[in-house]
Amino acid sequence: MQVHPEIDDHIRNFILAQHVFFVATAPLAADGHVNVSPKGLAGSLAVLGAHRVAYLDYGGSGAETIAHLRENGRITLMFAAFDGSPNILRLYGTGRPVFAGDPDFDTLRAEFPLAMNRLRAIIDVRVERVQDSCGYGVPLMTFDGHRDRLTATWANKDKPAAERFWAKKNPRSIDGLPAMPEAREAATKGYGP
């Protein structure tokens, strides 16, 4: 294990070369569920500085990461080399969801030239610890390509349909923490459930 003072060019290149990464968050409650989510899609992660990364959040059936970040901000991102030299990299820090309409959403979105419409949020992470380890237990795997169903699905939804989906699927975490209550309010005010 080695702790690095920052995300330098070597670490940045390693991060951007990975086709998948994992996000871990947890609520403060001792009996709450720890969440780990795989993330991918070309161009969905950006290294914004020596202590800052961000990734696109298109949404899905749950909103655990958003709920946990709204409650306590704690987040870890993990990258593993499935080809080439073995390595596991973890970025520990604090994060926040940035939603359309937030003051810095457009500035952050400009960091992602491949971003599609109907982003649920951009997750902005302040990195406090950069740590890597051997990765000898990670298997060698071949990358066949990115799936396109998620981005295709969201590209075809208009704003009212996206708001209805988020209102139905994402208002709270599985532990009952608020995730996207604003979506439920917008859906009930303007678009219906």
Instruction: Report the CATH number that the domain containing residue 137 is assigned in CATH.
Output: 2.30.110.10
Q: In terms of Cα–Cα distance, which of 191, 176, 63, 192 is closest to 123?
A: 63
Please list the residues that pair with 125 across neighbouring strands. Answer: 53, 95
**27 and 177 Cβ atoms separated by less than 8 Å:** yes
In a domain, 19, yes or no: yes
Cα-flanking dihedrals φ and ψ of residue 96, to 5°?
-150, 145
Q: What is the mean pLDDT of each run of 10 residues along the chain (193 residues)?
A: 97 97 97 95 94 91 93 98 96 95 93 83 97 95 88 80 85 92 53 33
For 8, which DSSP code?
Answer: -
In a domain, 21, yes or no: yes
Query: Nearest Cα to 65, choosing from 27, 29, 30?
Result: 27
Residue 168 is predicted with a pLDDT of 86
- Residues 164 and 59: beta-carbon distance below 8 Å: no
In a domain, 190, yes or no: no
Q: How far apart are CA 60 and CA 123, in angstroms?
A: 15
Residue in 121, 113, 124 with CA at minimum distance from that of residue 154: 121
CA-to-CA distance for 90 and 130, rounded, in angstroms? 6
Query: Could you tell me if residue 168 is inside a domain?
Result: no
Expressed as residue numbers, the domain containing 27 is 2-144
- The residues pairing with 85 across neighbouring beta strands, listed in sequence order, are none
- Which residues on neighbouring strands pair with residue 131, listed in sequence order? 3, 90
What is residue 190's predicted lDDT score, i.e. its pLDDT? 42
187 by DSSP, 3-state: which? helix
How many domains is the chain partitioned into structurally? 1
Is residue 8 in some structural domain? Answer: yes
This prediction's pTM:
0.91
